[in-house]
Amino acid sequence: MSLRPIIAPSILAADFARLGEEVRAVQAAGADWLHIDVMDGHFVPNITLGPDIVRALKPHATVPMDVHLMIAPVDPFLEAFVEAGADIISVHPESGPHLNRTLKRIRQLGARAGVVFNPSTSPSVIEWMMDEVDLILVMSINPGFGGQSFMHSQLAKIETLRRMIDASGRDIVLEVDGGVTAETARLCVDAGATALVAGTAVFRGGPDAYAANIAALRG
């Protein structure tokens, strides 16, 4: 697979009091995307940020904003996130009644559309929708918090989704999120991942460490 995975630092692990600076620092350190975790305290047991923060960060972003929505219902908020500057919007199938409609809507609004797999979500969810997705995101933790341990059980799912993407012949990004470290990054890439989200592993040690942290994830 890709020898140089896309690295998407999750700003959830950044200093929220200095978000603009943090975004500029990880970009200068080599971030390919910015991963933005949106939580509502309902779909997941934590609350983070909304479209206003995405809008405030947009002028600082020189790379795509990869917005991971952990909110339900999700449909009423798609437009607000695209208008705020989201380039990619990923949704959980469990966060709305009609995944196909939601994905079509994201593209219609002008963003790339992603589907997120919880640890318990089966790859079959996407079987009839390969034409509607630009990105598949495999959670290697239960969503809600950064700093959790990587679930090795999800590696087989990454391999299965890799095969499904290859069989489709489509250019779909396969991203992994949760507990990604230099060690687990390698396992994900070997299983077929082409993009890696990392919060703790990028932001630990402060700005002086970001470049080395990102380089370590690339292997």
Select from 32, 37, 40, 134 the one that contacts Zn ion (CB under 5 A).
37
144 binds ligand DX5 (CB under 6 A): yes
Tell me the CA distances in angstroms from 200 to 37, 164, 194, 197, 210, one per residue in order: 13, 30, 19, 10, 11
DSSP per-residue letters across 48-88: ---HHHHHHHGGG-SS-EEEEEE-SS-GGGHHHHHHHT-SE
Q: What string marks each residue from 175 to 204 as x (binds ligand DX5 by CB under 6 A) or -?
A: --xxxx----------------xxxxx---
The closest of 70, 78, 77 to 12, measured between CA atoms, is: 70
Strand partners, 197: 8, 177
How far CA 61 is from CA of 20, 36, 71, in Å, comes to 9, 12, 23
Contacting range for ligand DX5; rule: CB under 6 A; set: 7-15, 21-29, 52-60, 86-94: 7-15
Catalytic residue among 32, 40, 66, 177: 177
CA neighbor of 182 nearest in space, from 219, 147, 207, 149:
219
| Dist. CA 109–CA 174, nearest whole Å | 22
Binding partner of residue 178 among ligand DX5, Zn ion, none, CB cut-off 5 to 8 Å per kind: ligand DX5
Residue 181 CB, shortest distance to ligand DX5, in Å, is 8
Contact segment (CB under 6 A) with ligand DX5 among 22-30, 97-105, 127-135, 142-150 equals 142-150
Which residues, listed in sequence order, are joined to residue 116 by a DSSP beta bridge? 137
With binding defined as CB under 6 A, does residue 64 bind ligand DX5?
Answer: no
What's the rounded Cα separation, in Å, for the pair 39 and 16? 15
- Determine if 160 is a binding residue for ligand DX5 (CB under 6 A): no
Per-position x/- string for 76-115, each x denoting binding to ligand DX5 as judged by CB under 6 A, each - no binding: ----------------------------------------
Query: Which stretches of the chain bind ligand DX5, using CB under 6 A?
Result: 10, 12-13, 35, 37, 68, 141, 143-144, 146-148, 177-180, 197-201
Please give the positions annotated as active site. Answer: 37, 177
